[in-house]
Structure 1
Amino acid sequence: DLANDYGNTVFTSSIDNVKIDYSNVIYSSVFMQNPFFGYLAQGIGILLSKLLDLNTIWMLWLGRIANLILYAFLISRAVKKAPIYKIPLMVMACLPLAIFQAASLSIDVMINGLAFLVIGYFLFMYKSKDNSLELKDLAIFSLLALLCGLCKLPYLALIFLLFLIPKDNFKTPFYYNIISFLIVAVLGILWAKFYATPNYMLSYRAKYFIEHNVSMSGQINYLAGHLPQAFVTFANAFDYIGIVLFGMFSFSFPPFVYESNLFTLLGLLFVGSVVFLYPYKNELSNKLRIGLLLVVLIVFFGTFTIQLLNWSSVGILYGVDIQSRYFIPLLGLLPLIFGFNKSVDDEEKVNKIIMLISIVLLSALVILTVCRWY
């Protein structure tokens, strides 16, 4: 039983040196609604620990290491594919919270990694020459957006980026883009209705929902019958932006959350500097910036709505469970939307400073973790 070791470190745990137990045990599902491919890397790491006949702790360690390697691969591909804004993309993907999640067993690695890869591929397609993008490029982009959306439904909205790419860049007719969009949208809806939602109840959530009067249909009916309150609720969703931003430098889950006010302040200043002050050579149209902002808002409000319907008791429209980790990929779009600094004195020097600060922040995370737990 791992319950007694919850919150312990390897130095205080009583099971780290125990051999792997191969007895059959039935546990209640937790994330049955998630696709299988979101856990392949972790599974490979766990399988390797079994093949090597290691101790129990190695199932955790190798699973997490495999997940981190997968994240590194996806982000490296995203940065390599993007012809512009490589450094801001890398910085946002390597923020302390992103790496903290990447070094876990969470499906967040697949969500965040695929989302950043979609952004990188979008930048590649956006900057491509006229009549250069083939059906293959359209298919790859659509598939990446679909896989990301299957892991976390609101990120299906990344398929809207397809309509921000100049039509002249494609060899294929524009209606191919519309068909791709419709295929991704329909498959996402079918997945949500016939797989994710039914399997959502095959976990501890079913008991939680009954005990706390959580009902998606009930909440929808309540919102429909109280439109003024519904309007205020969604208008107040912007209040969660501050929670999301400050939470980017808060780690773990209750009751084991740890953070540092100084670390948070310096981290937010750094992120703000990259978003608003990173120098760019490529002029981005206001149409593109507005389109990207709309995509960000769709993902944000989509996530807010899902949390409101799936976790809040019927009639309770405040205190929605919003976590910063849900929005890590959106940070990759912010420099494209809000960056207006055209002065490029020494781009190489600026990039080196940014990368150095990123490394310092990650080092600070390690120190903060050691101070908290060891």
Structure 2
Amino acid sequence: PISMYQASSSSIDCMIIGLSILSISYFIYMCRAQDNSLTIKNIAVFSIICLLLGLCKLPYLAFVILLLFVPSKKFEKDKKHNLPILLLSIAIVAVIGILWSKYSAPTLLHSWRSSHNLINSTMQFNHVIHHPSSISKFFYNIVFIEIPNMMTGVFSFFGAHQFHHYADRYHFITAILLIYLAFVLWAYPRNVKFELKTKLGSLFTVIVIYVGTCFIQLLTWASVGYFNLGISTRYFIPLFCLFPIVIWFKKIPFDAVKFDRYAMVFMIAFMAVFIISFATKYYWVI
């Protein structure tokens, strides 16, 4: 639900969500391509998409790592020839991203937190280096505090942040959306199966982006010596697209024709309930 909130805003998240969906879709396309069909062109296209995504939000440059988890048999050449090309593509994207960050990072000085001397990346980094225990505190914070806080944003239709922020919790619509999502995830794998390598690679990418984002927040948002990271659910909307790849569901035998009919009825019913519920809650005039 939170993705709809962001899609209706003027935030850069709109571009991030769009590019992330495009990159993951292309990744799935490569994983599902015919054997020996992918060429350097496909690698270049995916790398460019990931670069554009990373320029919008630096940690998402890590999406390019997914290249390493496309099954080797899908590429035109063997692994021995492809690996250097894949590593070179990843390196180019990383270098451009780092160069861009050197250009874009000074803009943080114009933020209200910086103008009020609430943050100092250099001092924060030095604090972490000289206080090793802060590393364990950081990981404890992002696992046991930030994740539970962000989960409240998942179940809130308009809530963009934690429980103490404004949120319009339309529980009925949220429940309908989650039921619809569960139905899609349950039925989706009947025609799709990803290799273990691809699943683990997707999970690895999720972890890298999450930890990387939290660390950047530590340097650019939190006060020196503190862990007020200001993490929001909206930062990680693109990662939700990778979870269906990571999570494995046993294939369920369906009568394809019969299933498609039920699916269409279910989708029509979902859209009808969705539209009527919104109309009655937000646009009903007495």
Q: TM-score range by the shorter chain?
A: 0.7 to 0.9
Q: 1:261 to 1:181 in 2, by over 3 A?
A: same
> Which of 101, 114, 132 lines up with 1:192 in the alignment?
101
Q: Is residue 110 of structure 2 the alignment partner of residue 202 of structure 1?
A: yes
Q: 1:369 to 1:237 in 2, by over 3 A?
A: farther
Q: TM-score, normalised on structure 1?
A: 0.65
Could you say what secondary structure the match of 1:106 adopts? Answer: coil
> Which of 158, 162, 176 lines up with 1:251 in the alignment?
158
Q: 1:289 to 1:341 in 2, by over 3 A?
A: same
Q: Distance in 1 between matches of 2:168 and 2:280?
A: 8
Any idea what the Cα deviations from partners look like across 1:18-71, whole Å, max 9, x if unmatched?
xxxxxxxxxxxxxxxxxxxxxxxxxxxxxxxxxxxxxxxxxxxxxxxxxxxxxx
Report the CA distance between 1:328 and its aligned residue: 1.2
Q: Is the 8 A contact 1:154 1:299 kept in 2?
A: yes
Q: 1:262 to 1:330 in 2, by over 3 A?
A: same
- List aligned pairs for 1:1-374, cutoff 5 A: 96-171=1-76, 173-174=81-82, 175-193=84-102, 195-208=103-116, 210=117, 212=118, 214-239=119-144, 240-248=146-154, 249-251=156-158, 256-272=166-182, 274-275=184-185, 278-317=188-227, 319-346=228-255, 347-349=259-261, 351-352=263-264, 355-356=267-268, 359=271, 363=275, 366-367=278-279, 370=282
Report the CA distance between 1:150 and its aligned residue: 0.5
Q: Distance in 2 between matches of 1:368 and 1:235?
A: 43
Report the CA distance between 1:281 and its aligned residue: 2.8
Report the CA distance between 1:266 and its aligned residue: 4.8
Q: Is the 8 A contact 1:312 1:320 kept in 2?
A: yes
Report the CA distance between 1:187 and its aligned residue: 0.5
Q: Share of identical aligned residues, percent?
A: 34
Could you say what secondary structure the match of 1:201 adopts? Answer: helix
Q: Is the 8 A contact 1:278 1:341 kept in 2?
A: no
Q: Is the 8 A contact 1:277 1:339 kept in 2?
A: no
Q: 1:228 to 1:147 in 2, by over 3 A?
A: same
Report the CA distance between 1:118 and its aligned residue: 0.3
Could you say what secondary structure the match of 2:253 adopts? Answer: coil
Any idea what the Cα deviations from partners look like across 1:129-155, whole Å, max 9, x if unmatched?
222112221111100000000001111
Report the CA distance between 1:125 and its aligned residue: 0.9
**Higher relative contact order (CA closer than 8 Å, sequence separation 6+):** 2
Q: 1:349 to 1:326 in 2, by over 3 A?
A: farther
Q: Distance in 2 between matches of 1:358 and 1:222?
A: 52
Work out the number of aligned pairs and report it: 273
Q: TM-score, normalised on structure 2?
A: 0.83
Q: Distance in 2 between matches of 1:263 and 1:345?
A: 28
Any idea what the Cα deviations from partners look like across 1:281-323, whole Å, max 9, x if unmatched?
3332222211110101111111111122211111112x42111
Q: Distance in 1 between matches of 2:279 and 2:124?
A: 43
Report the CA distance between 1:218 and its aligned residue: 1.4
Report the CA distance between 1:185 and its aligned residue: 0.7
RMSD: 2.9
Q: 1:243 to 1:272 in 2, by over 3 A?
A: farther
Aligned partner of 1:45 in structure 2 is none
Q: Is the 8 A contact 1:275 1:339 kept in 2?
A: no
Q: Distance in 2 between matches of 1:219 and 1:272?
A: 42
Structure 1 stretches lacking a partner, 5+ long: 1-95
Q: Is the 8 A contact 2:113 2:221 kept in 1?
A: no
Q: 1:123 to 1:207 in 2, by over 3 A?
A: same
